[in-house]
Amino acid sequence: MTRPDADVLIAGGGLAAQRCCETLRRQGFGGRIVVLCEEPTAPYDRPPLSKAVLSDERERRTPTLKPAEWYAEHGVELLLGVAARELDPARRLLTLRERRGTGAAGRLRYRELVIATGSRPRRLPGLELGGVAHELRTHADALALRAALRERDGRLAVLGAGLVGMEVAAAARGLGREVTLIEAAATPLARALPPALGYWIARLHREHGVEVRLASSVERVSLRGSTARLELSDGSTVDADTVLVAAGTAPATEWLATSGLGPGAIPTDAAGRTAHPGVYAAGDAARFPDPYLGERVPSQHWEAAVRQGTAVARAIVGLAPAEPVPPMFWSDQHGHRIQLVGHAPPDCEIELDGNPTAGSGQFAAWITRAGRPIGALLVDRPDALQHARQWIAAAHAGHTAQPTTANHRNTPAGPGPSDTRRAA
């Protein structure tokens, strides 16, 4: 093979990429690392974009993961404003494009490639929302939304009651805005939570003055000056001067269409290896095996990006991935810290510890399927996180079900803790 331009080339400069670089250097990797960042900024953290960046008067800076000097000190080359355009896995060659240009910005040969391009907000085809429309993925999106929430009057309509939509609804209420949350499913977070828990979240928002419209979708839009009139499927209308489209995300892997990987989240093994030799994927763009579900799932959450970026770096230096732990995401809404550990499938049983309708709102919901622990929803119970993980992992230890294909080597789940306690 011709000498590569990069020993490790990372497409996408976000959380998974940064954790991959950090782990590589910590493990003593001495090769050349190059990171392609489509945005004009060094890797930064996205959770503050729907929280402090909107609600905190002073918080306008990009929440970078490391200061600029860190990359220089650790020999990590960031190519800012340069995107991956096409992959030729047989020749280990990546074609680049400038962010705003259409022409190619050159090609790079790699020894190992890490796909860490994250995800992008889904668009709602057919809805012309004009200048009132916002989406939220980048820091630039957050600053534009922040300005709209602070400088305009009138109602914010949020289309989609997923994590980002609900966090923005909460932040906007905190700023005194009128808010309508419109969700096509019967409950918020319908893909992550069963109806009983989704209703609790809807109720939380209603208690804080958010108008929650469930099982409703926007059928038509008419623009009247700086206001959008949204016609909903139930025949009602909502007038909004700011609209956030928060209808979920799709992996940013469209550029891989000709490579045999993508579009869609890229399936990997537990070390992040894809079906192509020398090509790894991590973070929102990847679909790692989840031993607790027995299938590969796109996780699209912060902690998964950290673990997966780390796992890929370990694989590159010849180390096995860390033992799996039940996945977790968190969300901050109306002053409450909400954490889902493991999974809450629709056919689960729920045992409550604490009263969700009590003033404090603090409770834990212990989730089982066919009698077996599989998840926990913790509301203002960070103290219970470790126990929840152990409870799920211990139950899983006797029931390991791993996806298998000829292309992927999976690491079996490790043993659970011995001191499992019955919850609730």
The residue from 22, 39, 241, 290 that contacts ligand FAD (CB under 6 A) is 39
Can residue 164 be called a binding residue for ligand FAD (CB under 6 A)?
yes
Can residue 107 be called a binding residue for ligand FAD (CB under 6 A)?
no
Closest CB 141 distance from ligand FAD, rounded Å:
8
Q: Which is nearer to ligand FAD, 252 or 348 (by Cβ)?
A: 252
Stretch that binds ligand FAD, among 66-74, 218-226, 294-302, 337-345 (CB under 6 A): 294-302
Stretch that binds ligand FAD, among 37-45, 210-218, 356-364, 415-423 (CB under 6 A): 37-45
Residue of closest CB approach to ligand FAD: 14
Can residue 284 be called a binding residue for ligand FAD (CB under 6 A)?
yes
Can residue 84 be called a binding residue for ligand FAD (CB under 6 A)?
yes
Q: Where in 233-299 does DSSP place strands (E)?
A: 237-240, 242-245, 249-251, 266-267, 279-281, 286-290, 295-297
Partners of 401 in the beta sheet?
none
Can residue 34 be called a binding residue for ligand FAD (CB under 6 A)?
no
The CA-atom distances, in angstroms, between 45 and each of 302, 303, 326 are: 9, 12, 22
Number of Cβ within a 10 Å radius of residue 424: 11
Closest CB 313 distance from ligand FAD, rounded Å:
13
CA 336 to chain CA mean position, Å: 19
Can residue 38 be called a binding residue for ligand FAD (CB under 6 A)?
yes
Residue 55 to residue 133: CA distance in whole angstroms: 19
C-alpha angle 166-382-350 in degrees, rounded to nearest 5: 70
Can residue 268 be called a binding residue for ligand FAD (CB under 6 A)?
no
Q: Are 111 and 5 in contact (CB under 8 A)?
A: no
The type of residue at 301 is: H
Peptide bond preceding 263 in cis form (omega within 30 of 0): yes
Can residue 302 be called a binding residue for ligand FAD (CB under 6 A)?
yes
Q: Which is nearer to ligand FAD, 134 or 213 (by Cβ)?
A: 134
Residues 4-23 that bind ligand FAD (CB under 6 A): 11-17
Q: 236-255 mask for ligand FAD (x: CB under 6 A)?
A: ----------------x--x
Residues 336-355 that bind ligand FAD (CB under 6 A): none
The residue from 46, 205, 396, 408 that contacts ligand FAD (CB under 6 A) is 46
What distance separates the 2 farthest-apart alpha carbons in the chain? Answer: 66
Closest CB 233 distance from ligand FAD, rounded Å:
27
The type of residue at 109 is: R
State the burial class of residue 45 (Cβ atoms within 10 Å of its Cβ: 0-12, 13-18, 19+): middle
Closest CB 14 distance from ligand FAD, rounded Å:
2
What is the DSSP secondary-structure string of 174-235? Answer: HTT-EEEEE-SSSSTTTTTS-HHHHHHHHHHHHHTT-EEE-S--EEEEEEETTEEEEEETTS
Binding site for ligand FAD (CB under 6 A): 11-17, 36-39, 46-47, 49-50, 83-84, 116-118, 136-137, 164, 252, 255, 283-285, 300-303, 305, 329-331
